Chain A
């Protein structure tokens, strides 16, 4: 029998680990929405580009990255399972069909670009191109529905707030995709997508206001949280960031636009987390403190995460710096 000492009785350094893991789960969700978000956005922009060389640039912009980006979703599932096993079990079995819809969309999105590049002929590329667009649109859409259902504690599959949130997340991924694409391209494509970015930004603004409004009306239990200084502050920051994104995009400040876009994603996720707290599963009435795993596995996971997260940032740093700068279309294998 291994002596685990105080690991089984006290949290590490007396830290509020339950709250930290709640924050971490949302941070990981934010990383997924931010990083895979531009993959989705570029997949949606794929629908607006007919020319072969433009489509190849869109694909080349994301091919080295999407696999790593998608792992944030795997880690989201794993972190929720490890830290809040009851929530993992309840939430994913409750939204059974929705989860499978998300997974199905992600299969389509991941597979389509691989397939697209296998053959040169037109019908093949036309159909896999369509599959790529459909997968890239539906994955964030269903994910948005899932997030709304989770927040509102809905049992139903599809609700009005869900659909609005889903569309808002889709608009946000296009905003994200445009910001990333403008960093990665140097030709007329860079100028062409600017208008798409503005359209998506306006749509996002409308939908985010609508979402908050619908949440306010349909979920009376969230009204006081919505009016709390923290959430109001986050909403204001989110709206200011859309302004910064618009200005930076107008003046072709590519990095500034991309950073503002990252801020948009993370403030949005923070708003959702703040609205939910202290609950993590409203249907079961579970708060963060009630749902957290026992102290020993919690401490072990916390040590693991503290050691591994810096390494993960290092990996992503290496990956993105290796592929920094403009796309080279014919580079592969």
Chain B
């Protein structure tokens, strides 16, 4: 999703300008996109069936609301991206400029529509609307009564904006980090790199994307948190590790229980920490340091694992601010004409390349762990959602199996991506678009 807007831009520039660097950009990043997409297809396929295999009770209860978005995602989004991906990746020589550009747009649109439907399904679990709950044969069944209220539930716009912006920001960080590595070697170590202009252009495009997305992420992230206060107060209390309902609540930058045994105990009250007085109240209410925040002790029953939510949230926010700093640092150097000379900047960019993805994962941990014990907020508990016939042994075996398989896939994926990056972009003499017609293709056989 994050790479798609870049690919559309590269394709457009490749077609419209004579500058060969855009063909290099398009071809290089398309290779990475293709490998990522194939990995995403095979791993994502599991999810389409997992609701049935592992969460049959959930699927029975929520099928009316949950099945529709999943089916529509397949038909509206996945079909679009998967078919046009074939043309986008393999068909440059076979189609006109116009159809080729349209293919890039179709692939990008497909990935974003996919996010729309998946996030509709997920956000409905966070802020369920537009349904009635009935008991049928001893099983709670959710009935859809208002599709617009259900699909465009209050959480959906927040999630969509935050996730899509994060995807673009993460890709910008990866691009900048890889480009910084080559620029560092070329300009600072003076170890000449072929196609250095390619990496310089990559860095500049990534910095432009970063300087737009990084501040936006923080601004609507702040608004998003306020929306959580209103809709999922228990989650917000876990994010801030607030136990007792109180006003003038400090914002803890770091916080630890006083004894090591309490490290993971959600009820550990003795906190050693450093906080800004009134900070949490100020943030939660949008400007009032005296505002009251509901504490975890107000909520009956099990609590989310506070330590995980608290720390994931903090690290994610810290990373978000770091990315803003990084963006402005880079743009400042660029403006001063010193972009290729600051070795510290390039080291920072290299180290930050994977941190955008880390922040995305942490954000999802806050979202999904923070809503526990609910699978559908206020309607169904996670414990009640699993398949009734599923044995612990089966679930454990497949979980371990998939952990191993997915870890293997991640290793292979990283290996292949590193190889592509090390090989670098295609060289000038391999390029095709510079005016003249493409070189004749050697077909397998011409005798037909």
Q: Which of A60-103 contact B (CB under 8 A)?
A: 63-65, 67-68, 70-71, 73-75, 77-79, 81-83, 85-86, 88-94, 96-97, 99-100, 103
**Stretch from A199-207, A239-247, A266-274, A295-303 contacting the other chain:** A295-303
Q: What residue of chain B has the Cβ atom nearest to residue A3's Cβ?
A: B146
List, in ascending order, chain A residues with CB within 8 A of B46's CB.
103, 107
Q: What residue of chain B has the Cβ atom nearest to residue A56's Cβ?
A: B444
Residues of B in contact with A (beta carbons under 8 Å apart): 27, 30-31, 34-35, 37-39, 41-46, 48-49, 51-54, 56-57, 59-60, 62-68, 70-76, 78-80, 82-87, 89-95, 99, 106, 130, 143-149, 387-390, 394, 398, 401-402, 405, 409, 412, 416, 419, 441-448
Which of A301, A315, A329, A333 is close to B80, meaning CB atoms less than 8 Å apart? A315
Q: Kindly state the separation between the CA atoms of A57 and B409 in the bound complex, as whole angstroms.
A: 26
Minimum C-beta distance from A36 to chain B (A): 12
Q: Contact check, A304 vs B75: say whether CB atoms are below 8 A apart.
A: yes
Minimum C-beta distance from A85 to chain B (A): 2
Which 7 interchain pairs have the tightest Cβ spacing? A85-B63, A92-B52, A78-B71, A81-B67, A64-B86, A82-B67, A93-B387
Q: What residue of chain A has the Cβ atom nearest to residue B70's Cβ?
A: A78
Which of A70, A71, A93, A304 is close to B72, meaning CB atoms less than 8 Å apart? A304
Q: Contact check, A327 vs B56: say whether CB atoms are below 8 A apart.
A: no
**Stretch from A10-18, A165-173, A217-225, A316-324 contacting the other chain:** A316-324
Q: Quick one: given A65-B86, A86-B60, are A96 and B398 in contact (CB under 8 Å)?
A: yes
Q: Contact check, A331 vs B401: say whether CB atoms are below 8 A apart.
A: no
Minimum C-beta distance from A260 to chain B (A): 21
Q: Contact check, A103 vs B49: say whether CB atoms are below 8 A apart.
A: yes
Q: Quick one: given A81-B66, A111-B39, are A187 and B445 in contact (CB under 8 Å)?
A: yes
Q: What residue of chain B has the Cβ atom nearest to residue A185's Cβ?
A: B444
Which of A71, A89, A296 is close to B57, meaning CB atoms less than 8 Å apart? A89
The answer, yes or no, to whether A192 is at the interface (CB within 8 Å) is no
List, in ascending order, chain A residues with CB within 8 A of B72's CB.
78, 82, 301, 304, 308
Which of B49, B62, B99, B398 is close to A77, meaning CB atoms less than 8 Å apart? B49
Q: Kindly state the separation between the CA atoms of A300 and B44 in the bound complex, as whole angstroms.
A: 25
11 inter-chain pairs at a CB distance below 8 angstroms, sorted by A residue, are: A1-B146, A8-B145, A67-B41, A67-B82, A90-B60, A100-B401, A104-B405, A294-B144, A300-B144, A304-B76, A315-B79
Q: Quick one: given A186-B447, A333-B31, are A107 and B405 in contact (CB under 8 Å)?
A: yes
Q: Quick one: given A186-B444, A186-B448, A187-B444, are A74 and B387 in contact (CB under 8 Å)?
A: no
Q: Kindly state the separation between the CA atoms of A31 and B148 in the bound complex, as whole angstroms.
A: 31
Q: Kindly state the separation between the CA atoms of A2 and B146 in the bound complex, as whole angstroms.
A: 6
